Structure 1
Amino acid sequence: MDISGASSSSVSSTLEIKSLQLAKSQQKIEGQATLELLEAAASPKTSSSNPSIGSNINTFV
């Protein structure tokens, strides 16, 4: 039983191609989101004008 003369293999191929296109698009979106996250996390390190601040650790036992 053909529907509009389309064979099941051509419909299957078309659906497979569309699925692969959607997967590729999703990977691009996730890759872009990952790059944005990495750029946001790479904040410049600030240093104090006084290098001795933070060099001592108080430990009380």
Structure 2
Amino acid sequence: MDIQGAGSSGASGSALEIKALQLAKSQQERDGRATLQLLESAADVPKVTSANSAIGSNVDTFA
């Protein structure tokens, strides 16, 4: 029975776990940058206003 194989696979498993965590972190950073860019671009959209302020002021609440 070879016990050394189990120890070496644990070390490589740890390296794989570290790599997976690094990839997850970089993905989260990309997602965060994309979210900030989306929010900043949404802030630049002009708000639509109607010439008639009464439009949309009455809401029918009956089903």
* Structure 1 length-normalised TM: 0.66
Q: Supply the distance in 2 between the matched residues of 1:25 and 1:44 (Cα, whole angstroms).
A: 29
- Larger helix share, 1 or 2: 2
Deviant stretches of 4+, over 3 Å:
none
**Which position in structure 1 is the counterpart of 2:42?**
41
Q: Structure 1, unaligned stretches of length 5 or more?
A: none
Q: Supply the distance in 1 between the matched residues of 2:52 and 2:37 (Cα, whole angstroms).
A: 31
Partner secondary structure for residue 7 of structure 1: helix
Q: Structure 2, unaligned stretches of length 5 or more?
A: 56-63
**Which position in structure 1 is the counterpart of 2:13?**
12
**Which position in structure 2 is the counterpart of 1:26?**
27
Aligned pair count reads: 52
**Which position in structure 1 is the counterpart of 2:58?**
none
The alpha-carbon deviation at position 54 of structure 1 amounts to 2.9
